[in-house]
Structure 1
Amino acid sequence: MHSPFADRFDTNYVPTDEEISQIQVDLVSHRDQLAKLDARIRELSEQRDKVKAYINAHKALISHPRRLPGDILEAIFLACLPTSRNAVMSAQEAPLLLCRICSAWRTAALSMPRLWASLHVSVDFVLAESSRLAAVDQWLRRAAACPISLSVWDTWRLTDLNVTTSALGTCLAAYSAGWRHIELTNLSFGIAQGLTELSEVPRRLESFKLVGNISLVSTVNLLDGPSLRSVSLQSEGNLRVVLKLSVAWQQLTHLTLKCFDSREDAFSVGDTIIMLGRCSQLVSFCVYLGNTQPPPESLSAALPFLNTLRVDGFSYLPVEFLTHILDRVSMPQLRHLHTPSVFGSQHEDGVFPLLSMAGKLPFLEDLTLNLASLTPQSLLETLQAFPTITHLSVAARVSSWGPQHPSCGTIRLLEVLTDTSICPQMHVLEIINSIDLSKTTLDAFLQARVKMQCAGRLRRLSITSQPADSWNHPNIPDLSLTDIQSYLAQGLDISLVLSGNPALSLPGPRTGLAPDNP
Structure 2
Amino acid sequence: MASCVPPSPQQDSTVGRDPALQFPFELSSEILLLSIDEDLTVESTVKRPLALSQVSKHWRSVSLSTPRLWSRLHLQIRNEDTRYVSLVETWLTRSDSCPLQLHILWSDPEALIPHPVLQAIVQHSDRWQRILLHLPSTALASLAPIKGHLPILAELSLRSGDFIRPSALDIFETAPMLHSFESDQYYSPLDLSLPCTQLSTVTTAFISIPQCLELQRRCPRLEKGTFILTDSSPQGLDIDIHSPFFHSITLSSYLADINPLLERCTYPQLVYLQISVLPVSPRAQLPSFLARSPNLRTLDLRQVQLSSEDLVACLQSVPNLVTLELAEYGSGDFFTRDFLVAMMFSPQRQSAAGDGDTDHAVSNSSDYLVPHLKHLEITVSPPDSVVPLGSFVTMVESRCGLGTGNQLTSVHLWMENLDTVYEVLGPERAEDVKERILKLQNEGVDVTLSVP
TM-score using structure 2 length: 0.77
Distance of aligned partners of 1:308 and 1:381 in 2 relative to their CA distance in 1, 3 Å threshold: same
Correspondence for 1:418: 344
Q: Cα gap change, 1:61/1:203 in structure 2, threshold over 3 Å: closer, same or farther?
A: same
For residues 410 and 133 of structure 1, do their structure 2 counterparts lie closer, same or farther at Cα, with a shift above 3 Å needed? farther
Matched, 1:80 2:38: no
Q: CA deviation at 1:344?
A: 3.8
Report the 3-state secondary structure (helix = DSSP H, G, I; strand = E; otherwise coil) of the residue aligned with 1:430. Answer: strand
Distance in 2, Cα, partners of 1:152 & 1:88? 11
Identity %: 21
410 and 205 in structure 1: CA distance in 2 versus 1, 3 angstrom threshold: farther
Cα deviation digits, residues 411-470 of structure 1 (max 9, x gap):
5543432346211111122224533334323322332233356853222233445xxx65
Does structure 2 retain, via aligned residues, the 8 Å contact 1:195–1:220?
no
Residue 94 of structure 2 corresponds to residue 94 of structure 1:
no
Residues 45-84 of structure 1, C-alpha deviation per residue, up to 9 Å, x if partnerless?
Answer: xxxxxxxxxxxx99953876324332222122211211x4
Mark the CA change 1:496 to 1:161 in structure 2 (over 3 Å): closer, same or farther. Answer: farther
Q: Is residue 96 of structure 2 the alignment partner of residue 144 of structure 1?
A: yes
1:390 and 2:322 equivalent?
yes
Equivalent position to 2:116, from 167, 179, 182: 167
- CA distance change for structure 1 residues 89 and 310 in 2, over 3 Å: closer, same or farther? closer
Letter in 2 for 1:177: D
Aligned residue in 1 for 2:309: 377
**Structure showing greater Rg:** 1
Aligned counterpart, 1:7: none
Label 1:77 to 1:425 Cα distance change in 2 as closer, same or farther (>3 A): same
Q: Which amino acid aligns with 1:202?
A: L
Whether the aligned pair in 1 keeps the contact of 2:147 and 2:172 (CA below 8 Å) is no
Which residue of structure 1 lines up, in the alignment, with residue 268 of structure 2? 332
Structure 1 residues 169 and 330 mapped into 2: Cα distance closer, same or farther (>3 Å)?
same
- Which residue does 1:246 correspond to in 2? 193
Q: Give the secondary structure class of the aligned counterpart of 1:342.
A: coil
CA distance in 2, matches of 1:449, 1:297: 43
Return the alpha-carbon distance in structure 1 between the equivalents of residues 93 and 297 of structure 2: 45
Q: 1:276 to 1:372 in 2, by over 3 A?
A: closer
Instruction: Identify the match of residue 203 of structure 2 among 232, 239, 256.
Output: 256
Counterparts in 2 of 1:343 and 1:417: CA distance versus 1, 3 Å: farther
CA distances 1:321-362 after superposition (whole Å, capped 9, x unpaired): 2x3223323322112122223344575xxxx31332354221
Contact 2:138/2:166 (8 A) holds in 1: no
2:334 alignment partner in structure 1: 408
1:222 is matched with 172
Q: Which residues of structure 2 form unaligned runs of 5+?
A: 1-11, 346-364
Tell me the secondary structure at the aligned position of residue 244 of structure 1. coil
| Greater helix content | 1
Residue 398 of structure 2 is matched in structure 1 by 448
Is 1:368 the counterpart of 2:300? The answer is: yes
Shift of 1:217: 6.5
Residue identity in the other structure for 2:231:
N
Q: SS state of the match for residue 316, structure 2?
A: helix
Aligned with residue 317 of structure 1, among 253, 256, 262: 256
Contact 2:111 2:139 in 1 (8 A): no
Which structure has the higher relative contact order (CA within 8 Å, separation 6+)? Answer: 1
CA RMSD for the aligned pairs? Answer: 3.7
Q: Tell me the CA shift for residue 121 of structure 1.
A: 2.5
Aligned length: 409
Instruction: Please report how far the alpha carbon of residue 242 of structure 1 lies from its aligned counterpart in structure 2 after TM superposition.
Output: 2.9
AA of the residue aligned to 1:80: S
1:8 is matched with: none
Separation (CA, whole Å) in 2 of partners of 1:81 and 1:387: 41
In structure 2, what is the equivalent of residue 300 of structure 1? 240
